[in-house]
Structure 1
């Protein structure tokens, strides 16, 4: 690598010095004498097991429950939005500048790497100034004329929110099934389009999860139906084109409300699978895709604390399972003998490697694993029994199989990214071992990855466990504790937070921020035990790990309490609420996005969407031990009279995962009890849900709000 000339070093030093002086000089002053909303208190006892637990703000769920205080709820949320607008009023221009800055890095007119399947190349493209995508294909060769399958920009006109998903082409390439959600509750209506005539059939299937599976007769479609109240996926139904949808046959009905269900097709195209899965157990059913009227057969009856996932390859089924295997193992079984006693081990359980999944090809098997917190991919050649690993060469990264729908292919499409490497798509020849970069996310404006540094560090938890921390910052950082640092975390459901690139994040890094990810327990970065040590009656490990990571970064002089910020969303919002209660002195500011903060009350109410699916994650508070433990960390229940850090909370009125009233109640209680003069802001998107705005640019307004909040706390004002 070439060294910078002395004048360049001097220039970077001068810019860094000048920015620090600006940050010292220009302090954003929150408007004084502005009174925040005060929510009315209507005490309700929501305790059990002899515990009196008074919730003064329980009435805020009335909009969701269609109760008598529905209008009052909306008025309160609007008042909070007005207060946020006033408090952030002096940053309006700055937010607009941040939005334009981030938007300017996006290549507006762009096209995805084409994916070949069953004779066609499929791809998406975007047009300048447009929020959505156009789904297209070309027959046989990329030089063929383009067929536009869906113009989502046109379809979304007139909608505040629009999501199209579950695209599914029939085996004869003539029909497209797709789902549409216009409310952001993740309830999709499925439509079927004739790709030869352009006709949208009258077969509109409502209340679905959006996905579907075609039988090989090109007229039978299997889909998942949702309960409109609980949003649980309860039934798999079968629709025959042109028939009365109200008479669609139920082919599977899930009676255990702890389970999610779905339907899909093997890559080979030979089988249709129904998967029913809870947090700790699962069950599969299957039929031949050539026999849509056959009865689904149980692959292996569900077993306590056993997860298994099935795919088809040649004359066998492959099973990834944790049956007698903490970190999962790979097994096989004949097509005619699918129950557990017939399973034969291919890859054993390993204490230091988590087997995450497989990608099946006719002559190859790609095994996705996680070792030392990092993803790796093993290629197995089934014709000569050779196997090898791909080399990625960075200390912190994310790599995973991409779109590989063609069963007979010898090429692996995989995606790669790191904290400094933009999202990249590679094609890898599994026979010659040659790889080709097909596309890398273009960051407009002259991004130079050599100007940023990424590291993989390890914090020590209070019980001695080493917690991985991925970190990125602009080159030239002086580690004297003066830099602002944003620490991100999640730590639930076994979801691992990998080190990925974000062009938006450059707006923080270029202004002197350090960005770090705490790979805390409750995720699965370090194996299955990592997850199990951060759930149920060990959930507090998640929170203390995050706190220990924050203290580690301070001790390593990356930042200080006066400049340390934390961010998490959904279950990561629970993390934010918990660390605020446990160590409010450690953070200068916190962003809690769509936060799950009223754990006990929500888990006691089975009418709230998805509650019953969560018992294996958090516990069932109808059991006293679980109730007591959950109450001991639930952010809402543990708000107290003390000083709290500055706080920005975001939510969506139509959120299907964490209902709006949890963050709203939390903010109201914090306002009532906190003893400091720090700011608390609640921003409710009145037309969106858990994922925020649906357009590819509109969501940047939410990011600009978050970044403006952080930068204001660091002294940034318009012009910085």
Structure 2
């Protein structure tokens, strides 16, 4: 790439050829040395990359500032959450104007004997303390003087006296756990270093369970810390040595058991620790040898103790069954499980929660995530009643379980759509007197600046892939945009790990819509929008479907007249960043700009090295190129770094973080070097690296708003969409 009157020369990393040979194939990598994170030359190079992108994008500064101010102007800076009840307390957060982080607080609940009244949250007002309000953790005070701040979990003992919280000050997702006596406000001397996400106290509050990651950043141990004892003496409850398995835990619905989950993308194993008899150790529900992907919960049916299973045994979209410990003791093929919710090819069951009188089902139907309820009293009868769910008016929406207490008369639901800000509902559970239940709106997240949802439109369209598969698209636009082939467009995609792009309201997206940009979520294969098969058809040796689906989505938008073929940009992050790199190689001529956030663009190098963070866990998603030559050849045919070619690449921005432990900074750093070397075009290719951030970027809401403004200004500038539509923008 040569300098132009507007762009200086980019930094050029020296070449240090490194050979990588597998299955008789040798790949020479000139930039692998950039992996040397402690090398001063690497750090200097990355800083030079930042200086280059700052120079190249200097002309976008006014647009960035405008978008930042729009985000800020629409956001209620002094905000609060709706309190959630746990045991004898209401827990909530406050955010303050000018402050980056929330303040975590609580207030005592009352028990009057009226269940609905006792579970009606107190009204919290900005700047007004509730009687008896107690601060648990002030994130702003904790973050003072730190380059990064993130809370990775918190737990309170059942008696409400002790509070444990985990803090990350580097962005590497390794947390320091501290303990606070809420009666005195004093910190206990106990400190746990290097913990991972998730904390839970035992019912008696004497010990805290936590996870630890190994050198490859995989959670592999669950430990128990007894308060007042040295951390070095913490009990190792369980260690998972299979490098391809992820480890985690949670409490059972009645908090009688610790539920340990060990899983990959294709099968799992659950072990239970009974708090009534912890000396008995962990009890395996179903061995991973059965190759069943399942979740398990202690459960009683018709007076018989057993286990509730949400599983894919002969059920690709999963189903719900009950079985006893006697059955689980038999050989797997001989076990009989009682069906509670049969399999459906149209409904994907993602999880099941247990309440005193209901099962709560998290399902995906017609691409949408929703919550359904199944009465427990009907589970043992042949004429099982059908599931029911709260009714919402919009066509495209997301509803999800936010909080549930086993004995509560209601559950907390979240609701959002492309046009509706997040709403907090309490759903009063159905009774004989009110069989449909009742939705109580507790709060709709406010949007300032005169936001009117009638100014925008969100519709579902369908693109058609080369193999005839119909691909759902969510098309969001300002109402004034016409379908005449002149509008700029942004196509967003992910398409991995069965993750779905669900309808959600995003304040920052309004800044693009108000500039006439048609924003499109492409629900490509590899995600989970249309059930398990949608995921299976976009992974391993079918992974290329993800990339070609995205191009087909782009072609549909152009052919349908929604966008100008010369004014289309692409956006994706992490595995969606791999998608961006693959699409840039497949069809560079279709995009005016590509923004790849923390992009997994050197996937083959990473997965070939099981010592690198999370590499072995990726084998169930992409295949194992170490042992399988077919997987190696297939991956090499699409991974972005290996397939850069001499074509005119569009304007590209790779956005990453120096301390990201999931997708290492070296991947985009190498990628942009090779792109510049091969590109026959003149469009700038930049690397923006946050030197103090993690996989989610820098911490602090104001910094995150500026990061989003940077991405959107880069896109809007490339699309010639810097000006607001007449009458649009915060008023």
Which of the five TM-score ranges fits, normalised by the shorter chain? Answer: over 0.9
**Residue 94 of structure 2 corresponds to which residue in structure 1?**
125
CA distances 1:262-288 after superposition (whole Å, capped 9, x unpaired): 122112111111111112111111122
**Residue 536 (structure 2) pairs with residue 532 (structure 1):** yes
Instruction: Specify whether residues 442 and 33 from structure 1 end up closer, same or farther in structure 2 by C-alpha distance, changes over 3 A only.
Output: closer
SS in 1 for 2:159: coil
Q: Find 2:349's aligned residue among 333, 351, 355.
A: 355
**Residue 27 of structure 2 corresponds to which residue in structure 1?**
53
CA distances 1:114-140 after superposition (whole Å, capped 9, x unpaired): 101111111111111111011111111
| Conserved 8 A contact 2:515-2:723 | no
**CA separation in 2, counterparts of 1:285 and 1:717?**
55
Task: State which drifts further: 586-595 or 710-719.
Answer: 710-719
C-alpha deviation, 1:33, in angstroms: 5.0
SS in 1 for 2:426: strand
**CA separation in 1, counterparts of 2:724 and 2:414?**
37
C-alpha deviation, 1:715, in angstroms: 2.9
| Conserved 8 A contact 1:189-1:210 | no
Q: TM-score normalised to the size of structure 2?
A: 0.91
CA distances 1:289-342 after superposition (whole Å, capped 9, x unpaired): 233443111111113541111123454431111112111010112367645625
**Residue 519 of structure 2 corresponds to which residue in structure 1?**
515
C-alpha deviation, 1:373, in angstroms: 1.0
C-alpha deviation, 1:89, in angstroms: 1.2
**Residue 596 of structure 1 corresponds to which residue in structure 2?**
600
**CA separation in 2, counterparts of 1:56 and 1:640?**
15
**Residue 258 of structure 1 corresponds to which residue in structure 2?**
244
**Residue 429 of structure 2 corresponds to which residue in structure 1?**
430
Instruction: Specify whether residues 33 and 260 from structure 1 end up closer, same or farther in structure 2 by C-alpha distance, changes over 3 A only.
Output: closer
**CA separation in 2, counterparts of 1:629 and 1:715?**
38
CA distances 1:618-655 after superposition (whole Å, capped 9, x unpaired): 11111211110000000000001111111111000000
**Residue 340 (structure 2) pairs with residue 346 (structure 1):** yes
Instruction: Specify whether residues 135 and 388 from structure 1 end up closer, same or farther in structure 2 by C-alpha distance, changes over 3 A only.
Output: same
Q: Find 1:446's aligned residue among 435, 450, 454.
A: 450
SS in 2 for 1:697: helix
**Residue 116 of structure 2 corresponds to which residue in structure 1?**
none
**Residue 585 of structure 2 corresponds to which residue in structure 1?**
581
**Residue 81 of structure 1 corresponds to which residue in structure 2?**
50
**Residue 411 of structure 1 corresponds to which residue in structure 2?**
410
Q: What does residue range 181-580 of structure 1 map to in structure 2 within 5 Å? A: 181-227=168-214, 229-314=215-300, 315-334=305-324, 338=328, 341-383=335-377, 386=385, 387-404=387-404, 406-431=405-430, 432=434, 433-580=437-584
**Residue 686 of structure 1 corresponds to which residue in structure 2?**
691
Instruction: Specify whether residues 443 and 422 from structure 1 end up closer, same or farther in structure 2 by C-alpha distance, changes over 3 A only.
Output: same
C-alpha deviation, 1:390, in angstroms: 2.3
C-alpha deviation, 1:203, in angstroms: 1.4
| Conserved 8 A contact 1:122-1:138 | yes
Quote the RMSD (CA, aligned, Å): 1.7
SS in 1 for 2:49: helix
**CA separation in 2, counterparts of 1:291 and 1:231?**
32
Runs of at least 5 residues in structure 2 that lack an aligned partner in the other structure = 111-121, 123-129, 379-383, 726-731
**CA separation in 1, counterparts of 2:685 and 2:224?**
49
Task: State which drifts further: 535-544 or 235-244.
Answer: 235-244
C-alpha deviation, 1:691, in angstroms: 0.3
**CA separation in 1, counterparts of 2:724 and 2:427?**
46
**Residue 92 of structure 1 corresponds to which residue in structure 2?**
61
C-alpha deviation, 1:697, in angstroms: 1.8
**CA separation in 1, counterparts of 2:325 and 2:290?**
24
**CA separation in 2, counterparts of 1:224 and 1:715?**
48
Alignment length, in residue pairs?
685
**CA separation in 1, counterparts of 2:544 and 2:342?**
31
**CA separation in 2, counterparts of 1:285 and 1:325?**
22
**Residue 630 of structure 1 corresponds to which residue in structure 2?**
635
**CA separation in 1, counterparts of 2:422 and 2:5?**
40
**CA separation in 2, counterparts of 1:167 and 1:86?**
42
Task: State which drifts further: 552-561 or 309-318.
Answer: 309-318
| Conserved 8 A contact 1:178-1:210 | no
**CA separation in 1, counterparts of 2:560 and 2:676?**
34
| Conserved 8 A contact 2:31-2:670 | yes
**CA separation in 2, counterparts of 1:92 and 1:239?**
50
**CA separation in 1, counterparts of 2:72 and 2:19?**
48
Q: What does residue range 129-168 of structure 1 map to in structure 2 within 5 Å? A: 129-141=98-110, 142=122, 144-168=131-155
**CA separation in 2, counterparts of 1:112 and 1:303?**
44
**CA separation in 2, counterparts of 1:564 and 1:719?**
18
**Residue 8 of structure 1 corresponds to which residue in structure 2?**
none
**CA separation in 2, counterparts of 1:653 and 1:187?**
15
**CA separation in 2, counterparts of 1:53 and 1:631?**
10
CA distances 1:517-573 after superposition (whole Å, capped 9, x unpaired): 011100111010110110000000000111100000101100122111110000000
C-alpha deviation, 1:351, in angstroms: 1.2
**Residue 662 (structure 2) pairs with residue 672 (structure 1):** no
CA distances 1:192-218 after superposition (whole Å, capped 9, x unpaired): 111111121121112211312211221
Q: Find 1:177's aligned residue among 135, 156, 164.
A: 164
C-alpha deviation, 1:32, in angstroms: 2.1
**CA separation in 1, counterparts of 2:290 and 2:588?**
40
Q: Find 2:6's aligned residue among 18, 32, 49.
A: 32
SS in 1 for 2:359: strand
**Residue 728 of structure 2 corresponds to which residue in structure 1?**
none
Task: State which drifts further: 381-390 or 668-677.
Answer: 381-390
C-alpha deviation, 1:677, in angstroms: 0.8
Q: Find 1:646's aligned residue among 651, 674, 681.
A: 651
C-alpha deviation, 1:38, in angstroms: 1.4
CA distances 1:663-706 after superposition (whole Å, capped 9, x unpaired): 00000000001000112111000111110111122101111111
Q: TM-score normalised to the size of structure 1?
A: 0.93
**Residue 16 of structure 1 corresponds to which residue in structure 2?**
none
Runs of at least 5 residues in structure 1 that lack an aligned partner in the other structure = 1-28
**Residue 698 (structure 2) pairs with residue 699 (structure 1):** no
CA distances 1:464-510 after superposition (whole Å, capped 9, x unpaired): 11111011111121111110111100000011111111011110001
**Residue 613 of structure 1 corresponds to which residue in structure 2?**
617
SS in 2 for 1:200: strand
| Conserved 8 A contact 1:215-1:290 | no
C-alpha deviation, 1:30, in angstroms: 8.4
Task: State which drifts further: 707-716 or 218-227.
Answer: 707-716
Task: State which drifts further: 531-540 or 241-250.
Answer: 241-250
C-alpha deviation, 1:717, in angstroms: 5.5
Task: State which drifts further: 259-268 or 302-311.
Answer: 302-311
Instruction: Specify whether residues 638 and 708 from structure 1 end up closer, same or farther in structure 2 by C-alpha distance, changes over 3 A only.
Output: same
SS in 2 for 1:52: strand
SS in 2 for 1:698: helix
C-alpha deviation, 1:597, in angstroms: 0.6
